[in-house]
Structure 1
Amino acid sequence: MIRQLAFDLPVQAAYRREDFFASATNAHALAAVEAWRGWPGGKMLLVGPPGAGKTHLTHLWAATAGAVIVAGADLAGADLLVLAESGAVAVEDADAVAGTPEAETALFHLHNLVVPRGSLLLTARGPARDWGLRLPDLKSRMDAASVARLEPPDDALLSAVLVKLFADRQTVVPPALIPWLVARMERSIDAARELVAAMDARALAQGKPITRATAQGLLDRDEAE
């Protein structure tokens, strides 16, 4: 029972400003989001690999701008007029609309409802030219959006995130464990959250402190999967 509880306790992602660590890999994107009132044409495209911080920045912007957030995959069935009422909309994974006529049309209409009177933030893995859009009018509008890029987190950022995640759990780990993890783990913020949660759960289940052996076992398991 203790083991089951240890692994099933949910971990809520914190999207507060103080939980976002600025580094050389994301400073430009952070500055672009914070300067949202001056976005050219009222829109901005955040691009970067999974786990680089796009969702965190999206939530920071939504809290500041009073924006609603919608997934690109859900646009085809969304009430666009209701979304546009706020005057500020964030579309996460906007590249997911590519190749689906209904979704591309929905993003085109949402863009026209929100811009230029309001603000539109979009996130994607890459620039719009790489999405594979089929609707010419949508492609031209997406291509016109200013782009802010997030790079994969560097060693300094991953180290800071790991330290913060362990501290949030009031978990003490050997200082040497942090650089050891950074050198071996998947390079993303999401991976850091999952790894810390898994290590903490395993330590609780075993009634032992977190050690390098704890981490190695989990890293080996992930590689095997």
Structure 2
Amino acid sequence: MSRTLPSDQMRLPLQTDLPEGEAGFVVSDSNRAAVEATEAWPGLIGGVMAICGPAGCGKSRLGQIWAERVGAVALNGEEAAFIDPLELEGRPVLLDRAMDADDETLFHLINLAQAPGGALLMLSRPAPSAWEVTVPDLRSRLDAVISVPMDAPDDAVLAAMLDARFAERGIRPAKDVVPYLLRRIDRSAAAAGDIVGRLDALHRPVTRALAREVLDDASDDDLG
């Protein structure tokens, strides 16, 4: 005999209309400074700015929102070396994993950001002033970059991440699941995605008891 799931634990059809861009980005104390810093920038000023914070804090997502708003060219770490800098002149640029770019590429991108229409938003974990570089002129330029911090997701942001991951998989967890997970998982997008994936793989109603079971199993795996 088949079993009907309770209404607050049922699996829903996979959703394709989840909020994207700014509509799906939760602003809280952990990211407000970075959000406000990018809202009006670059405007008429241009130049260089960095958003810095731990893995999973949402800086890449914020960078994508900024890039879409201003029409920036999006580059990623070491791959930026394969782009002809002259093709970027007069255009805003988003550089994710900026610390992985080589010194020469960084030097050219920072210089191009000073041209009319140019701007460079760099994303990294440590601030540019902490990066190891060998080119003296680059060192002085990085030390002058305005760096805005982002913190690890607080409860509001992490809850939104969990809600989104559950919705993507068509899962409606019991009401006490997300508050329970907030106190027990790492504060990152990766951790939110991992725990929801583990719960989904069991194909059972997502209750607090199941969440505790999965977290206990994960802890045992780490010890093993």
Q: Does 171-180 or 50-59 show the bigger shift?
A: 171-180
1:8 match: none
Whole-angstrom CA distance in 2 between matches of 1:22 and 1:166: 20
Residue 53 of structure 1, aligned match among 55, 58, 80: 58
1:171 match: 171
SS of 1:44's equivalent in the other structure is strand
1:29 match: 34
- 2:99 counterpart letter in structure 1: D
Q: Does 39-48 or 121-130 show the bigger shift?
A: 39-48
1:210 aligns with 2:214: no
Q: Give ranges in structure 2 of 5+ residues lacking alignment.
A: 1-15
1:18 aligns with 2:23: yes
- 2:110 counterpart letter in structure 1: H
Q: Does 52-61 or 124-133 show the bigger shift?
A: 124-133
Residue 92 of structure 2, aligned match among 88, 91, 108: 88
Whole-angstrom CA distance in 2 between matches of 1:115 and 1:72: 20
- 2:206 counterpart letter in structure 1: I
2:199–2:210 contact (8 Å) kept in structure 1: no
1:58-69 map, 5 Å? 58-69=63-74
SS of 2:123's equivalent in the other structure is strand
Spell out, residue by residue over 1:64-99, the C-alpha distance to the aligned partner (whole angstroms, 9 max, x if none).
Answer: 1111111122233332222x14601111111123xx
Whole-angstrom CA distance in 1 between matches of 2:131 and 2:165: 34
1:132 aligns with 2:129: no
Q: CA deviation at 1:111?
A: 1.8
Q: Cα 1:224–1:159, aligned 2, differ >3 Å: closer, same or farther?
A: same
Q: For the aligned residues, what is the CA RMSD?
A: 2.6
Whole-angstrom CA distance in 2 between matches of 1:123 and 1:39: 21
Whole-angstrom CA distance in 2 between matches of 1:195 and 1:134: 41
Whole-angstrom CA distance in 2 between matches of 1:14 and 1:122: 25
Q: Does 179-188 or 58-67 show the bigger shift?
A: 179-188
SS of 1:36's equivalent in the other structure is coil
1:15–1:56 contact (8 Å) kept in structure 2: no
Whole-angstrom CA distance in 1 between matches of 2:52 and 2:97: 9
- 1:132 counterpart letter in structure 2: E
- 1:26 counterpart letter in structure 2: N
Q: CA deviation at 1:197?
A: 2.9
Q: Give ranges in structure 1 of 5+ residues lacking alignment.
A: 1-10, 98-102
Spell out, residue by residue over 1:105-128, the C-alpha distance to the aligned partner (whole angstroms, 9 max, x if none).
Answer: 111012212324211100111111
Rg: which structure is higher? 2
Q: CA deviation at 1:15?
A: 5.1
Q: Cα 1:192–1:137, aligned 2, differ >3 Å: closer, same or farther?
A: same
1:42–1:120 contact (8 Å) kept in structure 2: yes
Whole-angstrom CA distance in 1 between matches of 2:172 and 2:61: 26
- 1:104 counterpart letter in structure 2: D
2:89–2:115 contact (8 Å) kept in structure 1: no
Whole-angstrom CA distance in 1 between matches of 2:155 and 2:218: 18
1:70 aligns with 2:67: no
Q: CA deviation at 1:198?
A: 3.2
Q: CA deviation at 1:39?
A: 8.0
Q: Cα 1:197–1:109, aligned 2, differ >3 Å: closer, same or farther?
A: same
1:15–1:59 contact (8 Å) kept in structure 2: no
4+ runs deviating over 4 angstroms: 38-41
How many residue pairs match? The answer is 205
